[in-house]
């Protein structure tokens, strides 16, 4: 935004909008279900009823890794100037067995970029199947927990808590929720997102 003051043009940084940017993978992109059944859309409906309302920008892409999300985030921040950034990435890094240090570096860079744009950050953690072994699974958990503490970001340790182990709520692949599980996913997110909306 530009203001004219005494004949000079002065650039004024616009305040972050009442919008939530969700940067995620297939877990936030309504994989194999209708878009309006996904937790991000359900969040959009809920936030739209607030006074004044918040909007949601869902920039999630199935198959997204932390590296590709890191590359896309700066342009998204510039375009939307969100008040809150929700980062739901790392599942695809983990499923591919990528080095956890790379995940840590990418998530840290995304948190830094979002906070530099004056957005509050919520990290959504994920659990891997047990066949990945306790060392890697514990290491993945530690990445989210350590970054949240060090960077003063909000954290939901496990996005699919109460959903992942219920066959009635999960798709046949065992990785993605059915439409019936998405309201529970939203409630998980809401518990940690709601306080960020009032800061």
Q: Catalytic positions, please?
A: 26, 173, 176
> Residue with structure tokens 């699919």?
160
Q: What ranges in 117-195 are assigned the alpha helix state H?
A: 134-151, 182-193
The DSSP line for 115-127 is: HHTT-EEEEE---
- What is the Rg, in whole angstroms, of the alpha carbon atoms belonging to the chain? 18
> In angstroms, rounded to a whole number, what is the distance separating the alpha carbons of residues 129 and 48?
35
Residue 100's φ and ψ, nearest 5 degrees, are: -65, -25
Could you tell me which of 105, 113, 25 has the C-alpha nearest to residue 76? 113
> In angstroms, rounded to a whole number, what is the distance separating the alpha carbons of residues 120 and 193?
10
Buried residues in 89-103 as b, exposed as e (16+ CB within 10 A): bbbbbbeeebebeeb
């Amino acid at each position: 935004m530009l203001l004219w003051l005494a004949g000079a043009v002065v650039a004024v940084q616009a305040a972050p909008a009442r919008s939530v940017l969700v940067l995620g993978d297939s877990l936030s992109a309504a994989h194999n279900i209708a878009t309006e059944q996904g937790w991000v859309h359900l969040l959009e409906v809920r936030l739209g009823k607030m006074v004044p309302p918040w909007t949601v920008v869902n920039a999630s892409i199935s198959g997204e890794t932390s590296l590709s999300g890191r590359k896309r985030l700066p342009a998204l921040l510039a375009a939307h100037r969100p008040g809150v950034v929700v980062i739901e990435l790392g599942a695809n890094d983990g499923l591919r067995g990528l080095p956890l240090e790379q995940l840590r570096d990418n998530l840290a860079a995304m948190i830094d970029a979002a906070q530099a744009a004056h957005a509050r950050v919520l990290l959504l953690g994920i659990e891997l199947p047990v066949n990945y072994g306790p060392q890697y699974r514990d290491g993945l958990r530690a990445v989210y927990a350590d970054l949240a503490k060090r960077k003063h970001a909000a954290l939901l340790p496990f996005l699919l808590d109460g959903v992942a182990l219920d066959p009635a709520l999960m798709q046949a692949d065992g990785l993605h929720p059915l439409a019936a599980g998405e309201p529970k996913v939203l409630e998980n997110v809401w518990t940690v997102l709601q306080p960020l909306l009032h800061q």
